[in-house]
Chains A and B, each alone.
Chain A
Amino acid sequence: DSGVTQTPKHLITATGQRVTLRCSPRSGDLSVYWYQQSLDQGLQFLIHYYNGEERAKGNILERFSAQQFPDLHSELNLSSLELGDSALYFCASSPPSRREGATQYFGPGTRLLVL
C-alpha cells in the first residue's frame, strides 16, 4: 500500500459525458501527479501540482483539467469523453524534491471505460 488513494476504482461511462477522478496523496506530500496509461501510448504524464499550484503540463488534452485543493487532494476532470479516453489513470504523490528527484508513490489507479 503506497498510501495514495484513488476513487473510483472503475468507471464506465458513455461518449460525450464528463467524469471526475479523485486522488488523495500520502500524508505530508505536497506534490500530486496525474498519468494516463493506455495500451497504445503506455504511461504518459499529464499534469503536476505542488501545494495547490500547477507546476508542469504534459500531454494533457484541453478537454481535461485538474486542480489541487487546500487539503492537497486532487481531482482530474475529463469532459466530452471519447472512446480513446478509455485508459488507466494513475495519481502519484511525492515529498519535497531532492536533487536526484523525489520518489513518486503511485495509487492503484482508476480504470475508465468509455462506451
Chain B
Amino acid sequence: DAKTTQPNSMESNEEEPVHLPCNHSTISGTDYIHWYRQLPSQGPEYVIHGLTSNVNNRMASLAIAEDRKSSTLILHRATLRDAAVYYCILRDSPIIQGAQKLVFGQGTRLTINP
C-alpha cells in the first residue's frame, strides 16, 4: 500500500479555514485519495475523495497537486465539532484483491480553539 505522510497535530481557531496537508509521493496512477476523520469516542467517518481534480462537498474541499504527490483537505470554516483525527488514505483500484480495505496511518489530530 502506498504510504501517506501527515503532520501529527494541527491547531486552528473556530470559524477560520483549516488546511490539512498530506504527502503521498509514491502514489500510483490508479490510487484514489480518500479522507476520513474520527471524532472523539466515535468510529471513523468518510469526508471526501478524489483522483486528479479538486473536489468539493458539504463537509470539505480537497485540493490535489498537479503531480498528485500531495493533497490538502480544506475545512472552510472550522467549528468545534470539527476537532478530530483526520486520515489521508490512498485506495488502489478495487479490481485488485484486498484493495477494499482502508489502511490508516497516524493521521493529524486537529484541535479547534473557541
Q: Residues of A with Cβ closer than 8 Å to B? A: 2, 4, 31, 33, 35, 42-45, 48, 55-56, 58, 90, 92, 94, 97-109
Q: Does B109 contact A (CB under 8 A)?
A: no
Chain A residue nearest to B107 in the complex (CB): A42
Q: How many residues of B contact A (CB 8 A)?
A: 26
Is B43 in contact with A106, judged by CB distance below 8 angstroms? yes
Check B43–A33 contact: CB distance below 8 A.
no
Do A101 and B99 touch (CB < 8 A)? yes
Contact check, B101 vs A45: say whether CB atoms are below 8 A apart: yes
> Within the complex, which residue of B46, B91, B100 is in contact with A105, where a contact is CB–CB below 8 Å?
B46
When the two chains form the complex, which single residue of B32, B43, B94, B101 contacts A107, counting CB atoms closer than 8 Å? B43
* B49 close to A104 (CB less than 8 A): no
* Secondary structure dominating the interface of B: loop
Besides A2-B45, A42-B105, A107-B43, 15 new A-B residue pairs in contact (Cβ under 8 A), listed by A number: A4-B43, A33-B100, A44-B104, A45-B101, A45-B103, A56-B97, A56-B100, A90-B43, A92-B102, A97-B100, A101-B100, A104-B102, A108-B42, A109-B42, A109-B43
Measured between alpha carbons, how far is A107 from B38 in the docked complex, in Å?
12
Q: Which residue of B lies closest to A88 (CB)?
A: B43
Which residues on the A side are within 8 Å of B100 (C-beta)?
A: 31, 33, 48, 55-56, 94, 97, 101-102
Minimum C-beta distance from B9 to chain A (A): 15
Q: Provide the bound-state CA to CA distance between A31 and B87, in Å.
A: 21
The answer to whether B98 and A55 touch across the interface, beta carbons within 8 angstroms, is: yes
Query: For residue A107, which residues in chain B have a CB less than 8 angstroms away from its CB?
Result: 43
| CA gap between A103 and B106 in the complex, in Å | 20
Q: Is B34 an interface residue (CB 8 A)?
A: yes
